[in-house]
Structure 1
């Protein structure tokens, strides 16, 4: 959450400073129409927990990691954009298996997420090449959890909110930086123990930050 707020504030501050400067008319805005974008950045810390049929439970601490996305989109009217995006996130995780007598064992591994999202953006109509924007999106994700105690994958709903700014470096190319608050939830997994099987559902929420480029055509 803190990563999302810091990045969003920084992007909007850059927009305010750059927007107040005089710029060449040719770079006033990137071309309208369709575009593709590529981006990369960080995904912040989060956590999750689940249980076994024998009463043991797992608490997992998911570390900050890397994320990236590619998207195809189009302008809609004067200030709106819509896009479909393919995203990937990879994070290390530390997990601890506990019972009512304390910690039984600890392990580590990775959580990998592949998502397909529909995003909408509003670009604020300010003068100059730098445009602050807000966005929101939803989609589906496949989450692969291999934390040393669980090796399973499940599908989940994704929700995200974005705040950032873009700068036109040519009539067809824009650079952007944004903060994101990302939710991946109701991930269905199954655990197995000598006492039997148990279904659990996990939620993960964390802040993120991306920088990238949009190419209009």
Structure 2
């Protein structure tokens, strides 16, 4: 897939709108009861980059970024200011934030994940775009420093030695969302912009 490992200007995504999307198929039976099913194993996020644009300088920056991505052709990184850390948004990541796997004595490589839990339900989200120099890892609660590596393009953590059988493998990190523009056209009107009208610049998450 065509993807550029470059982040959309974070100062502009800070003011954007958007969030996670799910797809649910609902069938209403003759009795009035419903059958609900989701064809998606994972949610998909949508954003509007236009709502983060506050000046003509911002608009110029977005236009340059859009042209460099050739519209929808190339994906890029996006910082979701609501959800960009393994733990709480306002806390620096710790190596024990997320249990990502259980060691088996053989496997050395593990996918970063983030678990969202509420009541008896939970959802495990693969994290594929960790941020450089933010990933921390631990085995059975003991943080490691020079004994692992991270692929920043896939979110795979590889340990020098396989964690022992039954050991809890955990990690903490910051991450971006892989996205692309969901349009090949940005309509700008300087007069309208100065009057308070902001162009809509849709962005959508992509599977990588």
User: Does TM, scored on the shorter chain, surpass 0.5?
Assistant: no
Give the TM-score range, shorter chain: under 0.3
TM-score (ref. length: structure 2): 0.26
Structure with more of its chain in strand, by fraction: 1
TM-score (ref. length: structure 1): 0.25
